[in-house]
Structure 1
Amino acid sequence: MEPVVLRVRHECLRDIFCFSLPALCPACHRPLAGGRPHRAPVSVPDPLGDGHGTSCRFLVAWTGRDSDGVAELHAGISDTSGVVYNYTERGVLRERRGWERCLSFPLLRPDAFHLLAQWDGYLERFSRGPSWDPTRRSFCDDSHNCLTFCVAFVNGVLAAEGGHGDVVVHAGDLTRVTAPAVRRAREYAALRRHLRRHPFYVAPSASPPPS
């Protein structure tokens, strides 16, 4: 199990990130644990979660499930039981495993019971469409890919529901809402890599983790 990343802001107003608190503040060299920190240590939450534990969400993972900022992004849609539909060169995959480390974004309002009851049917019928059949149309990294699949599905649901307000993220918003989360996930991964090599990372307040 990965250790928890801790963050503490010392009385010198520097943010210290670590797996375990050092005795002295690395910035000012005064006692840390016993020196009345400006704030108590808090855990830095991992931005990645288990996509198979989600329902009706837009998911973003890294190929190889690695958020190190080098691997390519891959996108999918979860059904009501956590099966992830995602478009690849082999067509639409329906995966019950492999998305344990991903970003997730809700697509429906919590009280959208009418649409929730139809979600799996919409998703399955859409996935069987000719646009996603590899024998009829080929996958293209630039113009016909996993994101194209997700955008087209959301557009299809909106069309079927008459632009229903129960869909909280519209197709045109998918890239916009996910970009900041992807950036934070990459920064978090960079921070963890740094802490595996060094006992702490010191940053000015509001500074990003190391790249």
Structure 2
Amino acid sequence: MQPLEKGVLKFSHCGRDIYCSLIPELCPVCGQSAVNSWKLEDAPVSIPSPFLNGHWEKCSFVLKPTAGLFGEYDGCSDLHVGISSTSGFVFHYNETGIHRDDLGWEQCVSVPLVPPDNYVLFNQWDCYLQEFASLDKWLSLRYNEEDHNCYTFALQFINTIRTLQEKPPLTKKYFTERFVLPRTRRVSKYMTIFREVSQNDFYIVEKH
């Protein structure tokens, strides 16, 4: 099986979108040449993987399955979130307290939190993150799966930064709907395509 991060290809033929890992010479639907009669809108395009290495994603909200990788994710199991530093570490909170990982977040979904031109915040980010993670509220004994968990840690840090910027705080509902759900929906669609291509070489759907 090809790695999840490689992405897949898509081309159109016979009124269908055809996903694959390699463009075939013959269309898997009609058996005719798949490459000689392309219009511009039917030509192959790359569908990039939605997964990124959280240790390379600076100043970001990162998300991954609590157990295992997205390749084994069933869509129902718990997800775990954290905040990345500028130096390859991911800070996250669970029942054993705060963790500062330099491994384990190589395949995750990322939400950038700092515009690339905000040099002041970028330079202060690690200090803010280290200070926030050191607060007593993130001791292991304070952990509660329902209302004081990894998401609480991440969102409260985001809102701490927003307060410093004199911006209003974000609710969990707003942040989830605005930033997280669009990315997890993309993951779900990508995983459906990826699994079909891995098992059957092609994933074929009617064009809308």
Q: How high is the TM-score relative to the length of structure 1?
A: 0.85
Superposed displacement of residue 14, structure 1: 1.0
Pick which of 35-44 and 56-65 moved more. Answer: 35-44
Q: How does 1:48-127 map to 2 (within 5 A)?
A: 48-63=51-66, 64-66=68-70, 68=73, 69-127=75-133
Superposed displacement of residue 48, structure 1: 0.3
Secondary structure at 2:117's aligned position in 1? coil
**Inter-CA distance 178–73: structure 2 relative to 1 (3 Å threshold):** same
1:1-22 deviation line (CA, Å, top 9, x unaligned): 6364110012x33100112233
Pick which of 108-117 and 18-27 moved more. Answer: 18-27
Gaps of 5+ in 2: none
Q: Pick the structure with more helix per residue.
A: 2
Superposed displacement of residue 182, structure 1: 0.6
Q: How high is the TM-score relative to the length of structure 2?
A: 0.86
1:171-190 deviation line (CA, Å, top 9, x unaligned): 55421211011111122122
How far apart, CA to CA, are the structure 2 residues paired with 1:205 and 1:81?
44
1:42-96 deviation line (CA, Å, top 9, x unaligned): 2210000111111111111112122532432111101111210011111111000
CA contact (8 A) 1:84 1:96 kept: yes
Match of 1:6 in 2: 9
CA contact (8 A) 1:6 1:42 kept: yes
How far apart, CA to CA, are the structure 1 residues paired with 2:112 and 2:170?
11
Match of 1:186 in 2: 188
**Inter-CA distance 170–124: structure 2 relative to 1 (3 Å threshold):** same
Secondary structure at 2:183's aligned position in 1? helix
How far apart, CA to CA, are the structure 1 residues paired with 2:129 and 2:87?
12
Secondary structure at 2:55's aligned position in 1? helix
Instruction: Please state if 1:195 is matched with 2:200.
Output: no
Match of 2:49 in 1: 46
Q: What amino acid is aligned across from residue 124 of structure 1 in structure 2?
A: Q
Secondary structure at 1:52's aligned position in 2? coil
CA contact (8 A) 1:65 1:99 kept: no
Secondary structure at 2:99's aligned position in 1? strand
How far apart, CA to CA, are the structure 2 residues paired with 1:156 and 1:125?
11
Secondary structure at 2:140's aligned position in 1? coil
Q: What count of residue pairs does the alignment treat as equivalent?
A: 199
The counterpart of 1:151, out of the listed 152, 155, 168, is 155
Match of 1:21 in 2: 23
Secondary structure at 1:141's aligned position in 2? coil
How far apart, CA to CA, are the structure 1 residues paired with 2:130 and 2:185?
31
Aligned sequence identity (%): 36
- Measured on the aligned residues, the alpha-carbon RMSD in Å equals 2.2
